[in-house]
Structure 1
Amino acid sequence: MKLKGKVAVVTGAAGGLGRGIALSFAREGARIVACDINEAALAPVKAEIQELGAECLSLRCDVSDSADVDAMFARIDAYFGTTHILVNNAALVPEKPHDEERRKRHYGLATRPIPRQSLGITKDMSDTEWHRFWSVNVDGVFFCTRAALQRMEAQRYGRIINIGSVAGISAASAHSPHYSAAKGAVVAFTRSVGYEVCGANVLVNCICPGGVQTPAFERYIDQLSPEERNTMWQLVPLGRLGKPEEYGALAVYLASEECYLVGSIINASGGAVV
């Protein structure tokens, strides 16, 4: 029980990677705060956590709203008394039809012998699309980190795990420059804050996943043609997506007393980025 008694806040916990990390923490004895903007979707996750014998507080929170974040941490203080672990997982990901079209364009250019050309994405991106991704993926990480550090530095203990992406450390997501820029900011923020606060025994690190085996990603793969599917797997040497529990095991280490990493950026992509 590596996290026994620790209070762990996981944002974006209603599904996918956030759910997987929350369940991994619960198995290790943590008391879980599961937060998400989709409050209704938190109910089954809370039930799963409680079935594991872990205590769980579920809260709706829009991480892009600093007042909402501060209110959430005040409620955590009232319920659990403090916060020991924060996982900044909440994020917008490119999953609309036009994002899928851009992704296919990118994969085709990367894997097929076609004439070199621009993907033609940034020149047509709107202010709204850019700012929407930045507000959740960057502002949200800052707002939650700031609130957590106000508790962690005072108690001289804390673990913060930022969920970045291979998009932030490579051109693997050249089809989504707004997402890549936001995740790159998370990477830089991790290094800077990790150095800043480690003297207070607060360790800040970042996991950069490649593909994660979530229902949404599996639905995307299912609608691909055999040729498109094979094209995608050519870009992942391991030949499969990462499982939420595999990422969860890594997060458990980063949240534990055994962790000796400071400001580290961990590439967990099945070889998609080496």
Structure 2
Amino acid sequence: MGKTFADKVALVTGVGPGLGQGVALAFAREGASVVVCDVNEEALAATQKAVEAEGSACLALRCDVSDSLQVREMFDAMMARFGTLHILVNNAALTPNRAIDTERRNKLYSYNSTPVPRDTLGFTSEISDEEWHRCWGVNVHGVFYCTREALKVMQPQRYGRIVNIASIAGISSKSAHSPHYSATKGAVVAFTRSVAYEVAGANILVNAMAPGGVATPAFNAYLENIGEEARNRLWQGCPTGRFGTVEEYASTVLHLSGEHYMVGQVVSPNGGSTI
């Protein structure tokens, strides 16, 4: 049997350990030529090595997607190497993973699972201008910059697939501890639907995946550190009692990148967290 994406070129942004790397590897295993980018050069090199080990051609480029010039230069390099683009996965994002974010997350989880009087959690009033703008720079502006350049390639050829990685944070209150992150992912959802309507007539299908928790090495370490009681509190909000694996989420991205009839949809694999 042939590989599903043997004749395709796929660009995946944000390919550090976790979902981005997993998606790049999934494309490689299905025969695609893969372009990968990240700001972390060590992570970028590791992903390139892993993709090439699967037998696929790989172009690895350092790119800060919040910088439109760097995005244009990345696309120029991709076109010089492969001459086209069939699939764009906008995965690069800043996630709430600093010490203050962990503190806020733990506060929310405890509030959601402990019978205490209701009160404000005090998150939004503590968000700085720098936190807000930094998050929007990568999570929203970066999605726009990459999509704009991709469409310049996809529209003339009348073919393309764009998968924007949103989040359960953008469609629910599950990430109320990070209002700045939630706002950006909600924006990604709205942008997905608007662009999807615009370009569907040219056989360019744009959809989003809004994952729940991803069992990345970093998040597994977090779960280990918070202890059994806190973990059990967390699972009260997830019927499956676990987060999705990178491979499970990557399979959804591959489906949205293939041949189907989905336009402007937001698919949310989340273990039942938003039933």
TM-score by length of 1: 0.98
User: How far apart in 1 are the matches of 2:81 and 2:213?
Assistant: 35
Question: Does residue 1:262 correspond to 2:259, yes or no?
Answer: no
Q: Which moves more between the two structures, 68-77 or 117-126?
A: 117-126
CA apart distance, 1:39: 1.6
User: How far apart in 1 are the matches of 2:232 and 2:49?
Assistant: 37
SS in 2 for 1:270: coil
Aligned to 1:273: 274
Aligned to 2:32: 30
SS in 1 for 2:226: coil
Aligned to 1:55: 57
SS in 2 for 1:130: helix
Aligned to 1:13: 15
User: How far apart in 2 are the matches of 1:82 and 1:45?
Assistant: 21
User: How far apart in 2 are the matches of 1:228 and 1:178?
Assistant: 24
Q: How does 1:105-144 map to 2 (within 5 A)?
A: 105-144=107-146
Aligned to 1:170: 172
User: How far apart in 1 are the matches of 2:207 and 2:110?
Assistant: 34
Contact 1:14 1:34 in 2 (8 A): no
Deviations 1:165-207 (A, max 9, x none): 0000000000000000000000000000001100111000000
Q: How does 1:60-99 map to 2 (within 5 A)?
A: 60-99=62-101
Gaps of 5+ in 1: none
CA apart distance, 1:132: 0.6
CA apart distance, 1:46: 1.1
Contact 1:3 1:255 in 2 (8 A): no
Q: Which residue, out of 180, 194, 197, partners 1:195?
A: 197
Gaps of 5+ in 2: none
Q: Aligned AA for 1:269? A: N
Q: How does 1:168-247 map to 2 (within 5 A)?
A: 168-247=170-249
CA apart distance, 1:14: 2.3
Q: Which moves more between the two structures, 181-190 or 216-225?
A: 216-225
Identity of aligned residues (%): 56
CA apart distance, 1:117: 0.7
SS in 2 for 1:29: coil
Deviations 1:141-176 (A, max 9, x none): 000000000000011000000000000000000000
CA apart distance, 1:236: 1.1
CA apart distance, 1:227: 1.1
May I ask how many residue pairs the two structures share in their alignment? Answer: 273
Question: Does residue 1:45 correspond to 2:47, yes or no?
Answer: yes
Runs of 4+ in 1 over 4 A off after TM superposition: none
Contact 1:194 1:203 in 2 (8 A): yes
Q: Aligned AA for 1:48? A: A
SS in 2 for 1:174: coil
Q: How does 1:149-164 map to 2 (within 5 A)?
A: 149-164=151-166
Contact 1:237 1:270 in 2 (8 A): yes
CA apart distance, 1:138: 0.3
Q: Aligned AA for 2:68? A: S
